[in-house]
Structure 1
Amino acid sequence: MSDAFPANLAFACSQFASIAQVCRRIGINRQQFNKYLAAQVRPSQHNMRRICDFFGVTESEILLEERRFRELLAVRSAPETQRGAPLYAPAIERLSRASGSLDRYCGYYYRYFFAFSYPGMITRSIGRLTRVGDQYLWKNVERHASMSHGASDVTKYEGMAFLLGDRLTIVEYESLLAGSITQMILYPSYHTGIDYLTGLQTGGPMKRGRKPAASRVMLEYLGQRVDLSRAIRRCGMFSQEAVGPRVTALIRNDMAADAWVFEVDQL
């Protein structure tokens, strides 16, 4: 065991609020951990791997000469005080301050778009926009029959919404695996009541080779309160005939022959 290990371990721990916190998060007994710091005991191979994984280093790196290890850790990590507030937090706060009010848009919606992975089929999912403090949060649930076992597969998305430049922007991510991000840009409603919000969405579907794609999208406002169980049962994958000509016309991904970019006109 390198003589630098106890010092490097102590320095890595100094990036956190306390050694007790480090022990809890790694899952190693505090008394045992103190013996590592005092160079009284060598960590087992299993515990060494847990320690290295927690600090984001390899075993060879945590055994480096002290100066080199400190330089390496300074590049890879930030102090605990900074970890408490992610580096992107100021950007979200600034966008939230710049955003107009979305209070009138809060409530439940059906979301319609041509499915990225099933040509010609239309997805109807249910979403909800809510206000929490000064921010607007978005949740969306997709439900469709599994091709493998016949039961319903459910995919959940979470994100944030902003009113910027007179357009609603919703950024969401798939919340189970966090493997994809979708963005919607929608026209606002200029009527007293809200019926349909139309716009574009982009994403990289899990199927179909994860090719980046864009499509028209429409949100149908359902109100502040709905029978959620019934609304979810009505979600799924549908033919154009089942959805009807009105919805199909609003989300059809036609593009003019002389167009160079994919655009959506306001209703």
Structure 2
Amino acid sequence: MHKGFPANLRRLVHHYPSTSRAAEALGINRQQLNKYLSGLSMPSLATLRNIAAHFDLEPDDLLLPADRFAARWRPPMRIEGLPPRMRQAVAALLENMAQTRSTLSRFCGCYHVCIPLRTNPDRIGRAYTVISQEGDLTLVKTIMFATSRGELPGSRQPIKIDGIAQWLGERIYITDTQNVGQPNARLQSIALYPPALPSMPFLTGLLMTTNNARTRPIYSSPIVFKRLAGKKPKKADIEACGVFYRDDPRLDPAMIALLDGGSSSL
């Protein structure tokens, strides 16, 4: 009944550096895993569920005919041609993203993001961020408007920033870049705490950013993400971004309070 299972499992295990590494990641004895791979043995239902969950699959997916399974499962990304040490580092990041994909999926959605402006602490910048997943990758796209007082968000071209998220140590880490290779290039790192209660809409943390320009040194700032209703971007939410004074009624007082509370404990 389950003749497709060994081939499907071999396809999954093939993306680990070795059978030993796969067995360790799956929490299975290596000798037992080899029996599954060769078709000499079938896992218990509990083990089958654990294997499926590890790869973000359903148990029935593992029992599909090999051709149907190949169409169902998307293998993790690989980066070829790197030096061995760099390849190991990138592989470890990709593997972590694959293993924590289901955890990060809880945070997929649309957000308003607020941060104090370093050049003017009386003002708050509000951006729009979408967290989504493609395969094993958790992607972060941010749109922001560098508006001045009295300007509407649409009066300037939006700044678009792409990043990637990792789940490590009960925190979300986001790394994004902007204008790489240009004089105004920027690299940002964000560490976020998930909410204490699932019903809370806020992610709080710390942003650290650096610029190519020598006049703009590395600095850090508290940052707050507020989850918005719905799973698809809304034009009104994007247009609500820009630069505001702290006492502007359009800003959420709860976000301002969280910003003023700081994130030094990170």
Aligned mate of 1:132, from 122, 131, 134: 134
Retained in 2: the 8 A contact 1:146–1:152?
Answer: no
Question: Deviation digits for residues 3-56 of structure 1, max 9, x if unmatched?
Answer: xxxxxxxxxxxxxxxxxxxxxxxxxxxxxxxxxxxxxxxxxxxxxxxxxxxxxx
Distance 1:253 1:175, change over 3 A: farther
Aligned length: 178
Distance 1:146 1:121, change over 3 A: closer
How far residue 202 of structure 1 moved from its aligned partner, in angstroms, is 0.3
Retained in 1: the 8 A contact 2:148–2:243?
Answer: no
Uncovered stretches (5+) of structure 2, i.e. residues with no partner? 1-79
What is the correspondence of 1:44-83 to structure 2 with a 5 Å cutoff? 82=81
Retained in 2: the 8 A contact 1:196–1:218?
Answer: yes
Give 3-state SS (helix, strand or coil) of 2:126's partner: strand
- Look up the equivalent residue of 1:139 and give its one-letter code: K
- In structure 2, the residue matched to 1:144 is 146
Aligned mate of 2:116, from 114, 117, 121: 114
Distance 1:217 1:137, change over 3 A: same
How far residue 196 of structure 1 moved from its aligned partner, in angstroms, is 0.5
Aligned partners of 2:188 and 2:254: how far apart in 1? 25
Aligned partners of 1:105 and 1:194: how far apart in 2? 12
Question: Deviation digits for residues 238-266 of structure 1, max 9, x if unmatched?
Answer: 00001254322211276xxxxxxx7148x
Give TM-score, length-normalised by structure 1: 0.57
- Look up the equivalent residue of 1:82 and give its one-letter code: G
Give 3-state SS (helix, strand or coil) of 1:137's partner: strand
Uncovered stretches (5+) of structure 1, i.e. residues with no partner? 1-80, 255-261
Fraction of identical pairs, as percent:
22
Distance 1:96 1:226, change over 3 A: closer
Distance 1:127 1:114, change over 3 A: same
Give TM-score, length-normalised by structure 2: 0.57
What is the correspondence of 1:249-264 to structure 2 with a 5 Å cutoff? 249-252=257-260, 263-264=264-265
Retained in 1: the 8 A contact 2:110–2:233?
Answer: no
List structure 1 runs of 4+ shifted beyond 4 angstroms.
Answer: 85-88, 175-178, 205-208
